[in-house]
């Protein structure tokens, strides 16, 4: 019997590791777009985040969901590479990326990093639970013009806002474009944090970076 995308969402959000990986593999083998699989993984993680916020899930469930997505993302990478045209190494613009302070989830961030890399960007990945001043220091050190802030949990909204404010206090806000993303984010949260844009997935992140930087990255 053919696997369905909704079956994938349910398996991930119910923390059924073996089933989730089998369903993902079947979908990819059947020709389902890896970007579509990725979008439904994002949908599943949003459900996991909501259950955590309601105290239906706790840290072990979050960690297990992260492990499931790590394994699925490894299966996705070869398919994503086939769909994406790599850009030459020279003159790669830098994007600073990290999961904000108080949040330790990195699956979505890692996929964004991968997509930015194969689309010609140099990515400085600061990891998880990154303090606002660390983002500022990285931008200064690497002369970056784009920053990506990631989160899974609603408790990370204020750290996102504080990070945007840290760039303002450092006198860098006018020269840096900031995008936010992750299962718990949307355009309303973008407005709350003061970021420039919200990207619903890794493809949106690449599009935003291209539009902001322009030039050799294919922007008209």
Concatenating the DSSP letter of every residue in 81-139 gives: HHHS----STTPPEEEEEEBTT----HHHHHHHHHHHHTT-EEEE--SSB-HHHHHHHH
Question: According to the model, what pLDDT value does residue 192 have?
Answer: 98
Please indicate, yes or no, whether the overall pTM of this predicted structure exceeds 0.85: no
Taking only the tens place, the pLDDT of each residue in 44-61 is: 988 988 898 899 998 899
Domain boundaries, the chain: 5-83, 94-217
In CATH, 5-83 is 3.10.20.310: no
* CATH-assigned architecture of domain 94-217: 3-Layer(aba) Sandwich (3.40)
| CA dihedral of residues 33, 37, 42, 48 (deg, nearest 10) | 170
| 82-112 pLDDT tens trace | 765 544 444 689 999 999 999 988 878 988 9
Residue 218 has pLDDT above 50, yes or no: no
- pLDDT tens readout for residues 182-191: 988 999 999 9
Choice among 90-99, 125-134, 191-200 with the minimum mean pLDDT = 90-99
Q: Are 5-83 and 94-217 in the same CATH fold?
A: no
> Does 152 have pLDDT greater than 90?
no
Cα(193)–Cα(6) distance, integer angstroms: 31
Q: The dihedral of CA 14, 18, 21, 23: what is its sign?
A: negative
């Amino acid at each position: 019997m053919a696997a369905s995308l909704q079956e994938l969402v349910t398996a991930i959000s119910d923390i059924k590791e073996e089933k989730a990986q089998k369903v993902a593999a079947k979908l990819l083998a059947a020709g389902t777009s890896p970007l579509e699989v990725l979008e439904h993984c994002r949908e599943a993680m949003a459900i996991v985040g909501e259950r955590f916020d309601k105290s239906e899930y706790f840290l072990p469930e979050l960690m297990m969901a992260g492990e499931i997505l790590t394994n699925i993302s490894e299966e996705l990478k070869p398919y994503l590479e086939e769909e994406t045209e790599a850009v030459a190494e020279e003159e790669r613009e830098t994007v600073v990326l990290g999961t904000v302070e108080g949040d330790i989830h990195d699956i979505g961030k890692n996929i964004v990093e991968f997509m930015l890399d194969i689309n010609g960007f140099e990515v400085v990945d600061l990891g998880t639970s990154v303090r606002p001043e660390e983002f500022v220091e990285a931008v200064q050190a690497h002369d970056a013009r784009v920053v990506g802030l990631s989160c899974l949990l609603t408790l990370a909204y204020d750290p996102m806002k504080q990070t945007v404010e840290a760039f303002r206090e450092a006198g860098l806000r006018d020269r840096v474009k900031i995008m936010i993303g992750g299962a718990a984010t949307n355009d309303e949260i973008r407005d709350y944090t003061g970021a420039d844009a919200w990207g619903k997935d890794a493809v949106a992140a690449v599009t935003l970076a291209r539009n902001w930087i322009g030039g050799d990255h294919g922007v008209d």
